[in-house]
């Protein structure tokens, strides 16, 4: 079995599984946010739900419109707060303790190797970086998990992605996944598991989180890395649970539908043009066009971790953002914010002419903290650049790494 199939097997009778098989698996952690949780809560109650299956296996993170931007978002959060109190959900994260969910859960030690995690948010696939099976589901699916602790899955086929070499300093996990999506397209891994092998030790944990976060942008059911020493080093300071990195290592009989090789040595900074993540070009190819940007967003569940802010800091420190460019920097969690503050990053950002936000999804989904007007152009470290994703339907979004976005902030154009 593949890595994903091995994990699903452990959560379903420990029996061998094959791609396409339907199973009812046990869920270790169910996640909702301030947009999706109220729908799940209402469906849970409509189905006769009284007590959740296990309050310790549910996490609710208020991150999309928090602090609340309007009355409706305040009502959404009030619904979540009441449910968390009623059900004694301890993994509830509100203003002052919250962060962007897919950065927060690993940081808190809630997402760990070998787990089966579902979340009513498509980028729940982020946690595969830790060697677990995690995937996004609908809010009514989440309601079913709230009630039963189980969920139906079709066992995905797998695509083996072999990494070779080592990234250059200005190249990151964002460039890796944009390169892959550019090659296979937004439907290239539809309902498949993207399984990363080879020189995985060349990627940091933050790189891996970014890569798995955007697996869904290739249509994948999930992305997953094997557990190695880097994984174990990350989790040991966040959890007392012990893991054996060799447990899921036997892939000798694994069946893969396709194989892809990524030459890390050859990768260069990559940009996705509007209006799909598959519309990729290298920074060198697009630089000559001198595409003017009105706004730069550095943050999100894809690229709002400390290493991402450090990458932007190295570019922005001691410089000034170009006239007429709005630069919005969003630390992914409170802990990232504090560590960036202590390292001097926040002060450097402000002195450069950027603004720094509280942790929030904010502009990524066109929520708040940076909505685009008609015909405006943004370069963002977010994960989607669909039409109207960040504001007006005539606006344009280019996806890039923190390094590339920070360069655009200084130049005033992508280059």
Rounded Cα gap, residues 315 and 309, in angstroms? 10
Question: What average pLDDT is seen over the chain?
Answer: 95
Q: Which pLDDT band, with edges at 50, 70 and 90, does 152 fall under? A: very high
Model pLDDT, residue 249: 55
Q: Whole-angstrom Cα distance, residue 333 to residue 108?
A: 10
Those residues with Cβ within 8 angstroms of residue 189's Cβ, 6 or more apart along the chain or in another chain: 159, 215, 218, 219, 220
Q: Residue 248 above 60 pLDDT?
A: no
Burial class (CB in 10 A: 0-12, 13-18, 19+), 284: exposed
Arithmetic mean of pLDDT, 391-414: 97
Q: What is the mean pLDDT of residues 148-168?
A: 97
362-384: pLDDT as tens digits: 999 999 999 999 999 999 999 99
Report strand pairing: 91-93 vs 58-61.
parallel
Tell me, what's the pLDDT at 250?
A: 72
Give the pLDDT mean for 52-65.
96
What's the confidence (pLDDT) of residue 350?
98
Could you give the domains of the chain?
3-264 (3.30.499.10), 271-411 (3.30.499.10)
Q: Is the pLDDT of residue 270 over 70?
A: yes
Q: Tens digits of per-residue pLDDT, 317-366?
A: 999 999 999 999 999 999 999 999 999 999 999 999 999 999 999 999 99
Instruction: Look at residue 242 and tell me whether its pLDDT is greater than 90.
Output: no
Per-residue model confidence (pLDDT) at position 408: 98
The 3-class SS string of the chain reads CCHHHHHHHHCCCCCCCCCCCEEEEECCEEEEECCCHHHHHHHHHHCCCCCCCCHHHEEEECCCCCCCCCHHHHHHHHHHHHHHHHHCCCEEECCCCCECHHHHHHHCCCCCCCCEEEECCHHHHHHHHHCCEEEECCHHHHHHHHHHCEEEEECCEEEEEEEECCCCCCCCHHHHHHHHHHHHCCCCCCCEEEEEEECHHHCCHHHHHHHHHCHHHHCCCEEECCCCHHHHHHHHCCCCCCCCCCCCCCCCCCCCCEEEEEEHHHCCCEEECCCCCCCEEEHHHHHCCCCECCEEEECHHHHCCHHHHHHHHHHHCCCCCCCCCEEEECCCEHHHHHHHHHCCHHHHHHHHCCEECCCCCHHHHCCCCCCECCCCEEEECCCCCCCCCCECCCCEEEECCHHHHHHHHHHCECC
Tens of pLDDT along 287-303? 999 999 999 999 999 99
pLDDT of residue 120: 96
pLDDT digits (tens, 9 = 90+) for 161-188: 999 999 999 999 999 999 999 999 999 9
Q: Taking 70 as the threshold, does the pLDDT of residue 244 lie above it?
A: no
Instruction: Label residue 252 by pLDDT band (50, 70, 90).
Output: confident
pLDDT given for residue 376 in this prediction:
98
Q: Of 281, 279, 288, nearest to 414 (Cα)? A: 288
Strands 280-282 and 270-272 come out as antiparallel
Query: Mean per-residue pLDDT for 84-102?
Result: 95
| Average pLDDT of the residues in 87-104 | 95
């Amino acid at each position: 079995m593949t890595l994903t199939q091995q994990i699903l097997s452990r959560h379903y009778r420990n029996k061998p599984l094959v791609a396409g098989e339907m199973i009812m698996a046990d869920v270790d952690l169910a996640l909702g946010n301030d947009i999706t949780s109220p729908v799940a809560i209402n469906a849970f109650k409509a189905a006769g739900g009284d007590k959740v299956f296990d309050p310790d296996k549910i996490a609710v993170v208020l991150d999309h419109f928090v602090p609340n931007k309007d009355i409706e978002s305040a009502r959404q959060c009030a619904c979540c707060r009441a449910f968390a109190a009623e059900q004694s959900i301890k993994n509830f994260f509100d203003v002052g303790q919250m962060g962007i969910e897919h950065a927060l859960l690993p940081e808190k030690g809630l997402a760990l190797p070998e787990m089966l995690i579902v979340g009513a948010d498509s980028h729940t696939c982020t946690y595969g970086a830790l060697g677990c099976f995690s995937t996004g589901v609908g809010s009514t699916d989440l309601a079913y998990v709230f009630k039963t602790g189980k969920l139906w899955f079709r066992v995905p086929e797998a695509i083996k992605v072999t990494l070779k070499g080592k990234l250059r300093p200005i190249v990151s996990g964002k460039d890796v996944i944009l390169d892959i999506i550019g090659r296979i397209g937004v439907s290239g891994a539809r309902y498949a598991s993207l399984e990363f092998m080879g020189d995985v030790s060349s990627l940091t944990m933050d790189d891996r989180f970014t890569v798995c976060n955007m697996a869904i942008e290739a249509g994948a059911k999930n992305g997953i890395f094997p557990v190695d020493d880097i994984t174990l080093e990350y989790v040991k300071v966040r959890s007392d649970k012990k893991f054996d990195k060799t447990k899921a290592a036997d892939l000798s009989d694994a069946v893969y539908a396709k194989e892809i090789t990524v030459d890390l040595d050859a990768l260069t900074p990559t940009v996705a043009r509007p209006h799909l993540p598959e519309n990729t070009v290298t920074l060198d190819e697009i630089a000559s066009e001198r595409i003017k940007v009105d706004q730069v967003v550095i943050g999100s569940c894809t690229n709002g971790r400390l290493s991402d802010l450090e990458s932007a800091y190295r570019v922005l420190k001691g410089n000034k953002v170009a006239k007429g460019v709005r630069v919005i920097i969003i630390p992914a969690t409170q802990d990232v914010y504090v560590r960036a503050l202590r390292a001097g990053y926040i002060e450097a950002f402000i002195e450069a002419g950027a603004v720094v936000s509280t942790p929030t999804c904010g502009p990524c989904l066109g929520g708040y903290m940076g909505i685009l007007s008609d015909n405006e152009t943004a370069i963002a470290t977010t994960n989607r650049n669909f039409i109207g994703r960040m504001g007006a339907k005539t606006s344009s979004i280019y996806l890039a790494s923190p390094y590339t976005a920070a360069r655009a902030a200084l130049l005033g154009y992508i280059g």
